[in-house]
Amino acid sequence: MFDFLRKKNKTTVTSVNVKLQGYTHKLPGMESSKGKIELEIPFRNKTHSDMLTEAGVFKAAKGKPLSIQSIEVLDPFKLASVEPKPPLVVKADETIKFKIIVDAPAHNYTGPLSINFNSVGEEVIHIELTKTSLVWNGAKKEIESSSRMLNLQKGGILVEKVQLFKAMRYGDMAKSIEVSFPFKLVSTDPKLPAKIDDPNSYIMALYLQAPQHNYSGELEIKIS
């Protein structure tokens, strides 16, 4: 059969999920009927020193080189080529752009494309948040559907986004925030003090330092 008469399979990538040391970074998806997908993934071995120092909670450790041992693409895709080729070492705050080509499935496909960057680094811990609660004026309010599981580095940074309207009202002022042990609050976005000045929604991102060990239990956020 002539190639131009052969039906081409369509691949719809809903998102590109790049996993490194327990963290998963989501990149936009794409569509292709070429049988191959070309990606450029900018990678930076970024330290959190700017955020941690600004918060004044603790001093960040000096950035360390990160050793990328291999890159793997999960089924139903297959890795065709990658440049630069691992193993390689990425210095602290160095940026490298990985050019990756993957073979698409031999059938129509709609779903994510998952890529794992395998590295030698800090030990990864497992965290299971059974629920997240907000405490305001002595009243405790559990956030619906707040349970989740994740893996990240010992002492790494966990970002928890909370809807303050679950416990507070329009016009209230959040002057300080405490989180339950074994987590430590590093920073917030927006910064404290923060007035609840949006009548429709008020999402605050909490940057939390993870513990040095596995943890399963509640995350309590006390606002005053």
pLDDT on residue 124 = 75
Average pLDDT of the chain to the nearest whole number: 84
Beta bridge mates, 152: 125
The pair of three-digit structure tokens given for residue 76, joined into one six-digit string: 């139903």
Please tell me the total number of residues recorded for the chain in this structure: 224
pLDDT tens-digit profile of 84-97? 999 988 887 788 99
Is pLDDT above 80 for 114? yes
Nearest CA to 218 out of 187, 181, 184 is that of: 181
Least confident span in 33-47, 48-62, 111-125: 48-62
Every domain of the chain and the residues it spans: 9-120, 124-223
Is pLDDT above 90 for 158? no
Give the dihedral sign, CA 22/24/25/31: positive
Q: Choose the most confident range, by mean pLDDT, from 6-10, 60-64, 176-180.
A: 176-180
Query: What value does the mean pLDDT take over residues 123-130?
Result: 84
pLDDT tens-digit profile of 160-208? 899 999 999 999 999 999 999 999 998 899 999 999 999 888 999 999 8
Percent of the chain with pLDDT strictly greater than 70: 87
Dihedral angle over CA of 213, 130, 222, 25, nearest 10: 70
